[in-house]
Amino acid sequence: MFLASESQIMRWGRIFTVSTLLFAIVALLPGSGKQAFAIKPSPPLNLSLTHNDLPDGQTELTLQAFANVAVEKVEISIDLPASLVLIAGETKWDGPLALGEQKEIKATIRTLSNHPTKVVGNAFVYFSSGGSLTQRARLLLNAPKEKPLSPRKPPILRKQGRDTILEFKEN
């Protein structure tokens, strides 16, 4: 059991009244009712690397860079591993990109093997303040094809005495 004297009760009452009054004053100050929010930063470029299989066994690679901000100097390139041969097109470009501008480079290649091959698209963004940023987009060519799952056979229902047994057999 907690016992308090009359003076302690009066002191706690004054503290409660003063703190409530201070809270109300702060709540009424200009700008105190504004909501706080955060904006997720976005990269300076949206970078994508895609491929299109051509009928003659060749593949066309496209690296696209879309500028989310104005950039004074950008270098974009497609890194081709040794198992890929460049037939036509470009694998490098550099220059400025204005806000909302898009630049793409296309390269027609031929694959020397049927093994899975990773192609990397790079973007090097250089800022006027002296910093730089690297962005990458990856693509896997000749990816292994997954076998389609064959439908499972329904279970066989059999009785053994008073028990019911479900038998599952593999295909």
Over the stretch 4-33, which tens digit does the pLDDT of each residue have?
677 777 888 888 888 888 888 877 776 655
| Fold observed for domain 45-141 | Immunoglobulin-like (2.60.40)
- The percentage of the chain sitting over the pLDDT mark of 70, rounded to a whole number, equals 86
What confidence category does residue 46 fall into, taking pLDDT thresholds of 50, 70 and 90? Answer: very high
What confidence category does residue 86 fall into, taking pLDDT thresholds of 50, 70 and 90? Answer: very high
The model scores a pTM over 0.85: no
Distance CA 104, CA 84 (A): 20
pLDDT at residue 171, rounded to an integer: 54
Res 78 pLDDT > 60: yes
User: Average pLDDT, stretch 32-37?
Assistant: 62
